[in-house]
């Protein structure tokens, strides 16, 4: 009976981690797209060479990430704790690229049994500026 309960908790935890990780990946990719669209200087859009404002990219990426996952100012919600969101912009010869590193703990039941804050998740995504966004 106890073994069945433990297996049920483990299955629920794996499903929760998988689901939340997928939500984080989608939110990260959407925030990168928004950062590039908002960060590229408007006057450069027709000139052929693009340069992006690093502060605008960082601000927009973090704002969209928080909105998409419904996070508070500490980048936490009921399922994510101790989240870090690091954005880097590289202006490479008129082709801006944004990289993001996300680290968080997904809170589930089984790590709490062993005194852990949650399941650690690390995500790294890169987005190059595209000519068209749909």
- Domain boundaries, given as residue ranges, for the chain: 2-128
Around Cβ 125, how many Cβ atoms within 10 Å? Answer: 15
**pLDDT at residue 91 in the model:** 78
Q: Quick one: tokens of 40?
A: 């590229």
Q: Are 60 and 100 in contact (CB under 8 A)?
A: no
Q: How far apart are CA 124 and CA 50, in angstroms?
A: 24
53 or 49: whose pLDDT is higher? Answer: 53
Helices and strands counted in the chain (H then E): 3, 3
Comparing CA positions, the residue from 28, 59, 10 lying closest to residue 124 is 28
Q: Which residue is listed with tokens 């068209």? A: 132
Residue entry with tokens 């399922």: 79
pLDDT above 60 (res 52): yes
Nearest CA-CA partner of 28 in 107, 101, 128 = 101
Query: Rounded to whole angstroms, how far apart are CA atoms 34 and 134?
Result: 12
Q: Is the pLDDT assigned to residue 31 strictly greater than 80?
A: yes
User: Model pTM?
Assistant: 0.84
List the one residue out of 31, 17, 36 whose CA is nearest residue 107.
17
């Amino acid at each position: 009976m106890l073994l069945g309960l433990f297996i049920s908790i483990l299955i629920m935890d794996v499903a929760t981690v998988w689901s939340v990780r997928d939500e984080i990946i989608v939110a990260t990719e959407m925030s990168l797209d928004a950062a590039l669209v908002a960060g590229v200087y408007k006057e450069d859009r027709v000139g052929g060479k693009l340069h992006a404002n690093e502060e605008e990219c960082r601000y927009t990426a973090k704002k969209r990430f928080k909105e998409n996952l419904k996070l508070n100012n500490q980048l936490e919600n009921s399922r994510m704790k101790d989240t870090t969101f690091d954005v880097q912009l590289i202006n490479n010869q008129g082709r801006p690229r944004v990289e993001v590193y996300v680290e968080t703990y997904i809170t589930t039941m089984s790590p709490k049994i062993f005194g852990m804050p949650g399941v650690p998740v690390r995500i790294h995504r890169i987005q190059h500026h595209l000519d068209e966004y749909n």
